[in-house]
């Protein structure tokens, strides 16, 4: 495992003036992550995981929090609410084969949709992937997830039909 990438920690102001901290996830963030997943609406959980679930299994939680910060990176956005830190969004990539390609995923708490946090996370994630030697980023999006498709196009992603599954689209961006 690589050292914790402290250079990726920053405090950012959203368009409405609220401050959020963007930082790489840590192994001890399990409860924070589980709380985030539980708080998502059914629609948001399905859009992110493409399955009905209410919380992450222990093995999935380990996979999401115990990362190497190089070939697998997750950036979370946290805000302070009622004097405690709460995860409000996450963007991650994991390497694919060929090794110069990574797959991304992003989820934003419903209350924070439209806040600008997704754009901050994705631009930070794209730059981190580029700095770590990836040449291409791709993802799978439900064909019915119009908000996501509208979001990723201005970030430079091309939208491709998945020949194996009419219900999903592949989104691809050179880095």
- CA neighbours closer than 13 Å in the CB half-sphere of residue 58: 0
List the single range of 8-12, 81-85, 92-96 with lowest mean pLDDT. 81-85
Per-residue pLDDT tens over the stretch 92-118? 999 987 789 999 999 899 889 899 999
Rounded Cα distance, 144 and 165, in Å: 13
Q: Evaluate whether 54 touches 38 at the Cβ level (below 8 Å).
A: yes
Domains along the chain?
A: 6-134 (3.40.630.30)
- Residue of 37 and 151 predicted with greater confidence: 151
23, 29, 91, 166, 168 from 75: Cα distances, Å: 5, 12, 5, 30, 24
Per-residue pLDDT tens over the stretch 41-78? 766 655 565 556 666 678 888 988 999 999 999 999 99
């Amino acid at each position: 495992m690589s050292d914790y990438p402290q250079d990726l920690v920053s405090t950012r102001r959203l368009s409405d003036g609220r401050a959020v901290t963007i930082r790489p996830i840590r192994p001890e963030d399990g409860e924070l992550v589980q709380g985030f997943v539980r708080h998502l609406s059914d629609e948001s959980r399905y859009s992110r995981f493409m399955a009905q679930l209410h919380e992450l299994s222990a093995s999935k939680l380990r996979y999401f929090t115990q990362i190497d910060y190089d070939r697998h990176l997750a950036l979370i956005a946290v805000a302070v609410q009622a004097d405690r830190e709460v995860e409000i969004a996450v963007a991650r990539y994991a390497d694919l084969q060929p090794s110069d390609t990574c797959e991304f995923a992003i989820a934003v708490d419903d209350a924070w949709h439209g806040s600008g946090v997704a754009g901050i996370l994705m631009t930070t994630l794209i730059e981190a992937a580029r700095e770590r030697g990836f040449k291409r980023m791709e993802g799978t999006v439900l064909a019915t997830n119009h908000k996501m498709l509208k979001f990723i196009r201005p970030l430079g992603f091309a939208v491709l039909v998945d020949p194996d599954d009419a219900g999903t689209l592949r989104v691809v961006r050179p880095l």
